[in-house]
Structure 1
């Protein structure tokens, strides 16, 4: 249950992302040069002492911020367990903290994800649910797309009776620029199968994560 993420080459097409990185991914030298250009554009001197190592640090940090492009979310869920002693109630993982980045401004989205599913025949290690959230969070995106991708991947691989995903995120593109409204959270949800068709099941899930009845 605690195995490492399934890594893949960034040159391979990602089923959860339409871009093929091999079609023109810049070199590290080019990436660092781009950071130098941004520093110059900001009005600073990239050759001053405090900024000499900044291009290297930014590129290395970006490798961590966007590590999700190198993880196959489908592969994370491949190992499942059928010995459940007949357990058929919902499985819920609450308060999965994530850090992501807005694809419009490349500034952070920080929040929590809540994931639930109704097993049909098999269950997956709970750490894998958190890893799927992380795999999609560590990419450029909008929150609506992240919610759909997490739910759709769980449904595709586990084929449960239903999947529910609720994400709460604070977008720094709204809190630190533009309208400057800190403390505002955006809530998105994706309900599939029983969670979409049955209001009682949906309410039970929302009660378990401490959310209001949005049904």
Structure 2
């Protein structure tokens, strides 16, 4: 796979008018291929592998929040980065997930060609599935290079998306508690 990606990057550079034999570009196609493999490694991960059994019995039924999980993704429309943070909350019903696994789930979906709206939903549904929580809330705030570097070139815009499942959707007080706690 790396050889095919390297060849494709050579073709792209040549099509742009570059000399792929010049000193600064000699290893660029291979480096770019390796970088793209890393940036899209989420395609080669699945939820069970990421969670790796880190679900634990707990009698806690109060909200668990992990906020400011940094994320880096590539938009599927331009393959340009979007960078931001994710806030995840859930209400346990007898099970909690290992703390680092929440960040790993965010990374698994972020490391795919993506749109932020879908990623937000995928993360929420995955957390709900593995924890059997009574509710899950996910908020993502991100800056999109496809809007900053090209097109309208707006440097200070931020996109916010949210998905509320279960009690986060059906109970306004639960949603309000989550939104208040992630504001700080």
Among 33, 38, 55, the residue aligned to 1:59: 33
CA deviation profile, 1:106-128 (whole Å, cap 9, x unmatched): 00010000000000111011100
Structure 2 Cα separation of the partners of residues 167 and 100 of structure 1: 12
Corresponding residue for 2:154?
181
Corresponding residue for 1:99?
72
TM-score, normalised relative to structure 1: 0.82
1:50, distance to aligned residue in structure 2 (A): 0.7
Cα 1:96/1:31, change in 2 over 3 Å: same
Structure 1 Cα separation of the partners of residues 44 and 106 of structure 2: 14
Structure 2 Cα separation of the partners of residues 135 and 100 of structure 1: 10
Structure 2 Cα separation of the partners of residues 151 and 74 of structure 1: 15
Corresponding residue for 1:124?
97
Corresponding residue for 2:56?
81
Structure 2 Cα separation of the partners of residues 178 and 96 of structure 1: 28
Equivalence map 1:29-178=2 (5 Å): 29-77=3-51, 78-82=53-57, 84=58, 86-178=59-151
The alignment partner of 1:76 has SS state of helix
Structure 1 Cα separation of the partners of residues 165 and 2 of structure 2: 41
The alignment partner of 2:150 has SS state of coil
Gaps of 5+ in 2: none
> Would you tell me which structure has more helix in proportion to its own residues?
2
CA RMSD of aligned residues (A): 1.2
Structure 2 Cα separation of the partners of residues 176 and 28 of structure 1: 28
1:74, distance to aligned residue in structure 2 (A): 3.6
Gaps of 5+ in 1: 1-26
Contact 2:60 2:93 in 1 (8 A): no
> What is the count of residue pairs matched by the alignment?
183
CA deviation profile, 1:170-203 (whole Å, cap 9, x unmatched): 0000000000001210000010000000111001
Contact 2:141 2:160 in 1 (8 A): yes
1:28, distance to aligned residue in structure 2 (A): 2.4
The alignment partner of 1:209 has SS state of helix
> Would you tell me which structure has more strand in proportion to its own residues?
2
